[in-house]
Structure 1
Amino acid sequence: MTPLHLAGANLELREVEPEDTDALLAIYGDPGATRHLSFEPRTREQVEAITARSIDSARATPRTEYCLAVTRRGEHRLIGYARLATEPQQAATIGFALHQAAWGKGLGTETVHLLCALGFNALGLHRIWAARSPLNEASARTLLRAGMTEEGRIRDHVFVHGAWRDSITYSILEHEWTPIEGADAAKVMARPAPPA
């Protein structure tokens, strides 16, 4: 299933490339963009390692991790990073981060829908789940709009910014998921990336 390419109404998910490092650093190196994530801002060296790991994970057999660049439809520049990691029992966890300039435009919801399309349509999963910081209300709205259900709280789930932090968890089951109405995401399947 490599290379992977998924298209929605406004966004596309594609494989990460070495040239994405600078755009990813603009997200993962930004204290504002990482304020609610499970880690502190990354250095260039750390982001280079994330880029390399993402590329390596696409070559793994079997593939259990999908680390993908989020781009605007028809454009190539990375504006976000999305991840789906499979687990036993036909399940996966998802996460994503968008550049601050892309916030507040519904692109997070579409990113979650595309990850669900990958998981349910292409990978045959039964359950997908996500976690957010208790203070990240924007993420709560995004996950709920995408059709996920709040499940509960994991206490002291991550150690970040020098303290333990809880996480609020959400999930969606295959029979609960419906694609974004009127969007190409309804028919999304993994397919070879278009030629460059």
Structure 2
Amino acid sequence: MRGVEITGERLRLREVDHGDIDALLAVYGDPAATEHLPFDPKTRDQVLGMIDEALAAASGPEPRLLYLLAAVETDSGKTVGVARIMVEAEHPHSAEIGLGLRPDHWGRGMGTDLVRLVLQLGFKQLGLHRIWGARAPANTAAQLAMLVAGMVEEGRIRHHVRAKGEWRDSIVHSALEDEWEGFRSRG
């Protein structure tokens, strides 16, 4: 799928472009925003590389496996976060997601809105059956956002990633298309 765009109540997702570098650096380069992520804060050049990779994926051959999307606040038009969807090559109806918001937008329910938009995009526009994401056990804000948005906590992967010089567990959450439809109709 090309030219991804989806709008929710407070956020809109669209393809990233080079104009998003400062906004993405405010997420990927911030020590607070990356505290629970499995990598150290990224440099401007590293973020630029991520944008270049996403632009190449958006214009490359089908099937498209990588989506890096800017999360734009609908009221202000400012890019306040990022969503990443990586479709599994061997199982193209399943995808892993990763999300990030600028720290100055935490605590306002935007994380839940972001998860909801990614699930809607994945199930309705990309035709996925299963969407999953992993979080650090200490990241209770991500836990709450995923649960409220309709994802289910599946379990713990022990010593899943090496982060900040030590092994860290991951907690996996997922949503299935049919369960998500039922969750949405109740919500």
How far apart are residue 74 of structure 1 and its match? 4.9
Q: Which residue of 2 aligns with 1:159?
A: 162
Secondary structure at 2:178 match in 1: coil
**Which of these residues, 173, 177, 182, is aligned with residue 170 of structure 1?**
173
Q: Which residue of 2 aligns with 1:19?
A: 19
In 2: Cα distance, 1:180 partner to 1:113 partner: 10
TM-score under structure 2 length normalisation: 0.92
Does the 8 Å contact 1:113/1:180 carry over to 2? no
**Which of these residues, 93, 98, 103, is aligned with residue 96 of structure 2?**
93
In 1: Cα distance, 2:60 partner to 2:76 partner: 27
Structure 1 consecutive aligned stretches of length 4 or more whose deviation exceeds 6 Å: none
How far apart are residue 54 of structure 1 and its match? 1.6
Structure 1 pair 4–38 and aligned structure 2 pair: CA distance change class (3 A): same
Larger helix fraction of residues: 2
In 2: Cα distance, 1:28 partner to 1:174 partner: 29
In 2: Cα distance, 1:57 partner to 1:8 partner: 24
Aligned length: 182
Secondary structure at 1:35 match in 2: coil
**Which of these residues, 99, 107, 110, is aligned with residue 107 of structure 1?**
110
> Which structure 2 residues correspond to residues 1-20 of structure 1 after superposition, within 5 A?
1-20=1-20
Q: Unaligned regions of 5+ residues in structure 2, if any? A: none
Q: Which residue of 2 aligns with 1:72?
A: 73
In 1: Cα distance, 2:127 partner to 2:71 partner: 22
In 1: Cα distance, 2:92 partner to 2:59 partner: 23
Does the 8 Å contact 1:84/1:95 carry over to 2? yes
Does the 8 Å contact 1:4/1:14 carry over to 2? yes
CA RMSD of aligned residues (A): 1.7
Which region of structure 1 is more displaced relative to structure 2, 69-78 or 55-64?
69-78
Higher relative contact order (CA 8 A, sep 6+): 1
The C-alpha deviation readout for 1:47-84, integer Å capped at 9, x for no partner, is: 11111112112112211111100011154431101011
Which region of structure 1 is more displaced relative to structure 2, 72-81 or 94-103?
72-81
Q: What percent of counterpart residues are identical?
A: 47
